[in-house]
Structures are given as structure tokens and as C-alpha cells.
């Protein structure tokens, strides 16, 4: 493995295997209705990731390394290049501006917190729960 790959990961790894997050792949439009429903009982996190972007990979790895909220939230992972239609629907449905990488916190059917790039921080997210 090259130094670059060990730092940034490979673009083929959409969800890294050694992390603290048990990601739920967001791959069907109907899952957005599921997220709305779940968010009435437990907060939901959506991480929108570009598999071709080194900044997105860095933000994802840092978030995964710091994440310790497994029992407090449901965590969904969206490969926005593969599922751009879902990404567009997230922007429309939750009234957020599309960015990549982007982290959204959904509570009671609404996005109550969204950040992107270097502002993605697991400790900050914890404070929003």
C-alpha cells in the first residue's frame, strides 16, 4: 500500500472497514422515508461522501476515528457519486445546500445540524444530540 493510500484510503473503499461506525448504506430512495420515521425515535446521521475526493476521504476517516455515538444515533452513509439522485433529494427534502463531504443530523424529520468539509467533527455532533 502506498503512503498516499494509507493516509487517504483508496477510492474503491466506500466505507472503511476499521472504524467506530456501523454504517447503514444509503442506496435506495425509499430509505429517506425510513430515516424520517426513525428520526422521531432516535437521531439519524447522514454522511455524504465523494469517493473521488481526498478531502472527503480525510473528513470521513477523521469522523470515523472520533465517533463514539453508536448507541445514540443511526448512521447512514451515502456515496453521492453513485447515488446522486438520493443526494439531490436529501438537499430538497431536508432544505440543505448540497455539499461534499457533508454531515447531517436528522431529528423529528428535520435536519437540525449540517456541516461540511473540515467542520465535520464527531465531538461537535455529540454536543448537538
Write down the pLDDT at residue 70: 80
Please write the tens of the pLDDT for every residue from 39-87: 999 999 999 999 999 999 999 999 999 999 888 999 999 999 999 999 9
User: Distance between CA atoms of 116 and 118, rounded to whole angstroms?
Assistant: 6
Q: Is the link from the previous residue into 101 a cis peptide, with omega within 30 of 0?
A: yes
End-to-end CA distance of the chain: 38
Q: How confident is the model over 16-29, as a mean pLDDT?
A: 83
Cell output for 23: 454504517
- DSSP class of residue 108 equals T
User: Distance between CA atoms of 100 and 28, rounded to whole angstroms?
Assistant: 19
Residue 93 pLDDT greater than 50, yes or no:
yes
Q: Average pLDDT of the chain? A: 87
Write down the pLDDT at residue 18: 52
Q: What is the pTM of this model?
A: 0.85
Q: Between vectors from CA 32 to CA 91 and to CA 51, what angle results, nearest 5°?
A: 65
Amino acid at each position: 500500500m502506498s503512503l498516499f493510500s494509507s493516509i487517504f484510503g483508496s477510492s474503491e473503499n466506500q466505507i472503511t472497514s476499521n472504524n467506530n461506525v456501523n454504517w447503514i448504506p444509503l442506496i435506495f430512495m425509499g430509505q429517506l422515508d425510513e430515516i424520517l420515521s426513525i428520526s422521531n425515535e432516535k437521531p439519524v446521521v447522514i454522511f455524504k461522501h465523494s469517493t473521488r475526493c481526498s478531502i472527503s476521504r480525510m473528513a470521513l476517516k477523521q469522523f470515523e476515528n472520533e465517533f463514539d455515538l453508536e448507541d445514540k444515533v443511526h448512521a447512514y452513509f451515502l456515496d453521492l457519486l453513485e447515488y446522486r439522485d438520493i443526494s439531490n433529494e436529501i438537499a430538497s427534502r431536508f432544505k440543505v445546500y448540497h455539499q461534499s463531504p457533508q454531515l447531517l443530523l436528522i431529528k423529528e424529520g428535520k435536519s437540525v445540524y449540517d456541516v461540511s468539509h473540515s467542520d465535520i467533527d464527531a465531538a461537535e455532533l455529540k454536543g448537538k444530540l
